[in-house]
Every structure is written in structure tokens, then in C-alpha cells.
Structure 1
Amino acid sequence: MSVSAIERQLMGYRLTTAQILYHMPDHPGLLQTFIWQDLDLAPRFPELSRFLAFWQRELDGKLHSVRVASTALIRPAELRYAGGQLTLH
């Protein structure tokens, strides 16, 4: 059974973005950037780890570095007292 994105977020998954720098296969002295984004569980990041394992196993470009950012999409509402009153009729 497939789990929807909302259900995954309620289970603690967060929007995760990874900037992957890798060496170009034909020109190893040059670096190329790839941006990966998906819902993942911080701090272990199993989805990203699976993707990077696939990269190392199947793709020619050797990884140079990976930068990761993560944020919760579903979070408590931020409410504050406005300190004023508005009356209509």
C-alpha cells in the first residue's frame, strides 16, 4: 500500500534538499551540481542515503560533496496577539 505525501509528513518526514557536487566522468577536474529533493526523515535521511548508494553503484560521476537542508512542512501555526480591536457596525 502506498503512503501519501501528507501521511509521510505526519509520520515525521520533512522536505529535504541536497546539493550534490560530483566530478564529471569525461573531465574529472570539473565539478557539476545536481539538486535532489524529496521527503525524508531527519537526521538519518534514509531516502537520501538510498539515492546516494544508487549513485555510487550505477553512475559514473564520482561524488565530491553533499550539502543537506531539511525543514518541516507541517508545523504548528504561528499566532500572535495583534494588540488592537476592529469593530464593524
Structure 2
Amino acid sequence: MTPSETELMLKGYGLTTAEIFYRMPDYTHVLNSYIWQEYDLAPDHPKLFEFVEFWQAKIEGPLHSVRFTHRKMISPGEWQNQVGEFTLH
């Protein structure tokens, strides 16, 4: 069973976004970009590096560069259960 996004975030995962620049196979002077997002663990980023290795092995467009950012949305110590009701007007 695949864990939900909230379960992953509570286990320390964060959202990793990578912008991958690659050369077109037939037009090597043309760069194209691809956006990749997945929940991953910092600082090792195993899922990102697994995807980059897959790209190098299976996809024809040679990589030019990869830049990425990692955002840890919540951590186990930051999450709190709030109970309340606010009435407006």
C-alpha cells in the first residue's frame, strides 16, 4: 500500500522539484526542459538520483544540467491538532 502525502511528510519527506535541461537527440544545439516533482528525503535525495540514472540509461536526450530545490512542508514536531470554530458575521 502506498503511503499518503501526509504520512510521507510526517516521516520526514519533503517535496523535491527538479528542472532538468537536456539536449534534443536530433538537434544537439537545442536545449529543452523537463520538470520533475516527487516526495524525497534530503540531503541524499535517493528518488531524484534514481530518476537521473534512469534518464541517462533509458532516454535518448543527453542531460545538460539539473537544478533542484527541496521544501519540507511539515515535520513531526510542527504538526498540531487544532479544534475550534470561528464565526464571521
Give distance in 2, aligned partners of 1:4 and 1:54.
Answer: 24
Output one character per residue of 1:54-75: Cα deviation in whole Å (capped at 9) or x when no partner.
1111100000100010111115
The letter of the residue matching 1:28 is T
Give distance in 2, aligned partners of 1:66 and 1:11.
Answer: 26
Structure 2 length-normalised TM: 0.80
| 1:41-52 map, 5 Å | 41-52=41-52
Deviating 4+ runs (over 6 angstroms): none
Aligned residues: 77
Structure 1 length-normalised TM: 0.80
| 1:1-89 map, 5 Å | 1-75=1-75, 76=78
RMSD: 1.3
The letter of the residue matching 1:36 is W
For structure 2, list consecutive stretches of 5 or more residues without a partner in the other structure. 80-89
For structure 1, list consecutive stretches of 5 or more residues without a partner in the other structure. 78-89
Which structure has the larger Rg? 1
Q: Secondary structure at the match of 1:44?
A: coil
The letter of the residue matching 1:15 is L
